[in-house]
């Protein structure tokens, strides 16, 4: 069989698309967080660190309490805590938001390795039992639909949650008063302030929300897709989510489409056993597409006007 034939064959298997969606969700959650944060005017490149922190504390909590829901809650809060740090540093103290983001990413990497050594010594972190992982749920009846049943309705609980969050984020940002205000704060904080809107509160809320979402992604990664914590296990997903956010022009659905493209690359890579192209070449493809697309094929991607600019009340 030719290589092209292999790929085509693979593209028609439900397994591939099931894996694609799961991989995409892992990116979608932090990307949604990024969209919310940056729409409010705070640049957030710290999703990687927030996700990693969430993954670590999720595993720790799950091993300690043997309760996956509690552990997921801990993971979300851990991500939210990192988000709070980013918020305080960049909103309250008006520090450079890129620097703060980098600091959080490095800090999260160091902190988790340190704590792994401290808590578990030099041994492995240990594995979470099968029954203590985020469950896969088959939706009755719907999961029997040929092809689509497997892709859409035989998924992890987090995948369903993420799809709900995707729609929710879109509706909140573009259909509600809250969303209008978040976007106003990200476009022109002075205008929002003079209209009586609390710029600081909204920005805090948005940045912390991005941490919560990244924390959930961390939980999905460590106690859903995998069953343990490995240092650096996020493997750049927070950054890929960042690219997806920009690729998607700071919109939830745009980011989702980008996540699907990246997810497809990951899924093809994971299912490479049946094709005869170097898997490394294949795994490169989505990023190559991104570079080409970002270079101008989809038109310029314009961030919110006040993205990255700290707000000083009374300034112009």
Partner 1 sequence: MSDTTPLAVDMRGITKQFPGVLANNHVDFSVRHGEIHALVGENGAGKSTLMNILYGLVHPDSGEIVINGKPAHIGEPRDAISLGIGMVHQHFMLIPVFSVGENIMLGREPVTGPDLYDHAHARAAINDLTKRYGLALDPDARMGDLPVGLQQRAEIVKVLYRGANYLVLDEPTGVLTPQETKELFVVLRDLVKAGKTIIFISHKLKEVLDISDRITVMRRGRVVGHLITKDTNEEEIATLMVGREVLLRVDKKPANPGAVVLTVENLAATSDRGVPALKGISFELRQGEILGVAGVEGNGQSELMEVIAGTRHASGGRVLLGDRDITTYDARTERDAGVAFIPEDRRGTGLVLSFSIAENSILGRERAPTFSWRQFVLRLVAIREWARKLVKEFDIRTPSIDVAARNLSGGNQQKVIVAREMGSQPKVLLAAQPTRGVDIGAIEFIHRQIVKERDGGAAVLLVSAELDEVRSLSDRIAVMYEGRIVSIEPPDTPEERLGLLMTGGGAQKGAA
Positions in the binding site for partner 1 (CB under 8 A): 175-181, 183-184, 187-188, 190-197, 305, 313-314, 316
30 within 8 A of 51, measured Cβ to Cβ? yes
305: how many CB neighbours lie within 10 A of its CB? 11
Structural tokens at position 113: 């390795």
Question: By C-beta, is 100 or 209 nearer to partner 1?
Answer: 209
Judged by beta carbon, residue 273 or residue 302, the one nearer partner 1 is 302
Q: Taking the complex as a whole, how short is the minimal distance between the CB of residue 40 and partner 1, in angstroms? A: 13
Q: Whose Cβ is closer to partner 1: residue 140's or residue 196's?
A: 196
CB 232 → partner 1: shortest distance, Å?
A: 39
Number of residues that this document lists for the chain? 316
Bridge partners (DSSP) of residue 155 are 137
Q: How far apart are the first and last CA of the chain?
A: 65
In whole angstroms, the minimum distance from the beta carbon of 37 to partner 1 comes to 18
Burial of 304 (0-12, 13-18, 19+ CB in 10 A): buried
What residues are paired with 307 via a beta bridge?
none
**Least Å distance between CB 180 and partner 1?**
6
Residue among 6 and 187 whose Cβ is closer to partner 1:
187
Identity of the residue, 304 or 310, whose beta carbon is nearer to partner 1 in the bound complex: 304
Tokens, residue 208? 């912390």
Distance CA 208, CA 198 (A): 16
Minimal distance in Å, beta carbon 210 to partner 1?
20
- Contact (Cβ atoms closer than 8 angstroms) between residue 51 and residue 75: no
């Amino acid at each position: 069989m030719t290589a092209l034939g292999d790929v085509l064959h693979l593209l028609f298997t439900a397994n591939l698309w099931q894996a694609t969606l799961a991989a995409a969700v892992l990116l979608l959650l932090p990307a949604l967080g990024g969209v919310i944060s940056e729409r409010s005017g705070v640049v957030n490149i710290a999703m990687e660190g927030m996700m990693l922190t969430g993954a670590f504390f999720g595993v720790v909590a799950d091993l300690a309490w043997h309760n996956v829901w509690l552990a997921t809650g801990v993971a979300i809060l851990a991500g939210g805590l990192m988000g709070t740090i980013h918020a305080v540093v960049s909103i309250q103290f008006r520090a450079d938001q890129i620097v703060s983001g980098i600091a959080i990413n490095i800090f999260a990497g160091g902190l988790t390795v340190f704590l792994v050594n401290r808590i578990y010594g030099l041994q492995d972190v240990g594995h979470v039992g099968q029954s203590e992982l985020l469950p896969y749920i088959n939706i009755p009846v719907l999961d029997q639909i040929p092809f689509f049943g497997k892709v859409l309705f035989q998924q992890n609980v987090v995948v369903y949650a993420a799809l709900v969050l995707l729609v929710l984020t879109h509706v909140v940002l573009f259909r509600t008063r809250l969303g209008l205000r978040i976007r106003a704060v990200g476009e022109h904080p002075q205008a929002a302030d003079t209209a009586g809107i609390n710029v600081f509160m909204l920005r805090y809320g948005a940045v912390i929300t991005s941490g919560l979402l990244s924390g959930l992604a961390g939980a999905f990664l460590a106690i859903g897709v995998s069953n343990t914590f490995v240092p650096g296990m996020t493997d750049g997903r927070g950054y890929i989510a960042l690219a997806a956010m920009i690729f998607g022009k700071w919109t939830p659905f745009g980011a989702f489409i980008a996540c699907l493209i990246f997810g497809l690359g990951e899924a093809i890579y994971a299912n490479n056993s049946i094709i005869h192209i170097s898997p490394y070449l294949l795994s490169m493809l989505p990023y190559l597409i991104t570079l080409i697309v970002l270079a101008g094929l989809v038109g310029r991607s314009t961030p919110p006007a006040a993205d990255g600019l700290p707000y000083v009340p009374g300034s112009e």
